[in-house]
């Protein structure tokens, strides 16, 4: 059974050769009271070993937010908006931005992207039609394109068609991910400058969203909402010195595991991501301001 994860930090933790890879740099810091781990994959050898594209991966731990600690929501928004601002390239600092909420809003663990897009303040039409009033705002478009089974159109085709029309300087893509460990479900946000492959976490990979396919930088924001059953069985067996039993073998069948409170947790973290995107793209906004605009 293979270890499946979309998180760079877990790929390193599970790699026997991680300590030997000279093309990987790791650092840790704290933002607004939240732990941030940064992984920089600098070469192709490390990329192949870890199964992740070359690039920069920032992992924000959100345990305090999910415990609903006092003042955790605005602090989390400020922390994530700071990380997003760091990854947005200089060439896109004032350019139009397209925010895409990937996934199927009818399936709760896959609804992070569409729900986050619901909380993004779309301003492109305002900037175009009232430039004097909205001169301090960036032109932002928000799109939740759905999935192939809903629309009959590949998500990449929808996004490419929109991009041809609005010509953004960068894309921010929000999607659900798969973790390798239950402890990271809904407790982690990964931000990367490598783009994203929709559906990869559940074994249904579609066309990749990255600079090569879309022609502009793609910042991926992902939250692990499921753990693959085979991965969980692999982890349990490894911690039991390779022990196996019928119950673990059952987990090797195609099954995804999520949390008991997934509805509330997806709603909470999607709102936080949407607010953070607003604050990164419009630095003059606070959480209170966004509440007013979206009310």
pLDDT digits (tens, 9 = 90+) for 220-240: 999 999 988 777 766 666 666
Give pairs for 16-21: CB < 8 Å, separation 24+: 17/49, 18/49, 18/50, 21/45, 21/46, 21/49, 21/50
More confident residue, 175 or 21: 175
Alpha-carbon distance 149 to 103, whole Å? 11
pLDDT at res. 151: 86
CA neighbor of 227 nearest in space, from 249, 254, 257: 257
The 3-state DSSP class for residue 38 equals strand
What DSSP state is assigned to residue 286? Answer: -
Alpha-carbon distance 293 to 136, whole Å? 15
More confident residue, 14 or 52: 52
- The answer to whether 129 and 139 have CB atoms below 8 angstroms apart is no
Residue 224: φ, ψ to 5°: -70, 120
pLDDT at res. 206: 64
pLDDT digits (tens, 9 = 90+) for 67-110: 888 899 999 999 999 999 999 988 877 889 999 999 999 999 99
Whether the full predicted model's pTM is greater than 0.85, yes or no, is yes
pLDDT digits (tens, 9 = 90+) for 169-216: 999 999 999 998 888 999 999 999 999 877 554 555 567 888 998 999
pLDDT at res. 280: 96
Q: Which of 13-17, 33-37, 234-238 has the lowest mean pLDDT?
A: 234-238
Q: Which of 142-151, 168-177, 187-196, 260-269 has the lowest mean pLDDT?
A: 142-151
Query: Which residue reads 């349990």 in tokens?
Result: 236
Alpha-carbon distance 142 to 150, whole Å? 19
């Amino acid at each position: 059974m293979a270890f499946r994860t979309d998180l760079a930090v877990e790929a390193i933790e599970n790699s026997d050769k991680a300590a030997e890879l000279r093309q990987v740099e790791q650092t840790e810091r704290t933002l607004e009271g939240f732990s941030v781990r940064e992984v920089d994959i600098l070469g192709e050898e490390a990329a192949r070993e870890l199964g992740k594209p070359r690039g920069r991966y920032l992992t924000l731990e959100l345990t305090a937010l999910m415990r609903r600690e006092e003042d955790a929501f605005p602090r989390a928004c400020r922390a994530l908006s700071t990380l997003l601002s760091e990854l947005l390239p200089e060439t896109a600092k004032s350019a139009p931005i397209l925010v895409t909420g990937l996934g199927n809003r009818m399936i709760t663990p896959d609804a992070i992207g569409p729900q986050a897009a619901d909380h993004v303040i779309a301003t492109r039409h305002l900037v175009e039609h009232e430039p004097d009033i909205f001169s301090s705002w960036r032109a932002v478009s928000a799109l939740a394109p759905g999935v192939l089974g809903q629309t009959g159109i590949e998500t990449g085709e929808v996004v490419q068609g929109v991009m041809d029309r609005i010509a953004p300087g960068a894309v921010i893509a929000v999607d659900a991910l798969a973790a390798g460990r239950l402890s990271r479900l809904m407790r982690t946000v990964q931000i990367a400058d490598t783009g994203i492959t929709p559906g990869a976490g559940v074994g249904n990979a579609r066309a990749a969203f990255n600079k090569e396919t879309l022609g502009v930088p793609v910042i991926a924001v992902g939250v692990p909402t499921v753990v693959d059953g085979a991965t969980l069985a692999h982890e349990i067996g490894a911690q039991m010195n390779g022990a196996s039993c019928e119950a673990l073998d059952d987990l090797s069948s195609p099954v995804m595991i999520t949390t008991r409170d997934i509805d509330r947790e997806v709603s909470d973290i999607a709102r936080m991501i949407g607010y953070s995107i607003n604050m990164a793209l419009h630095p003059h906004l606070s959480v209170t301001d966004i509440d007013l605009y979206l009310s």
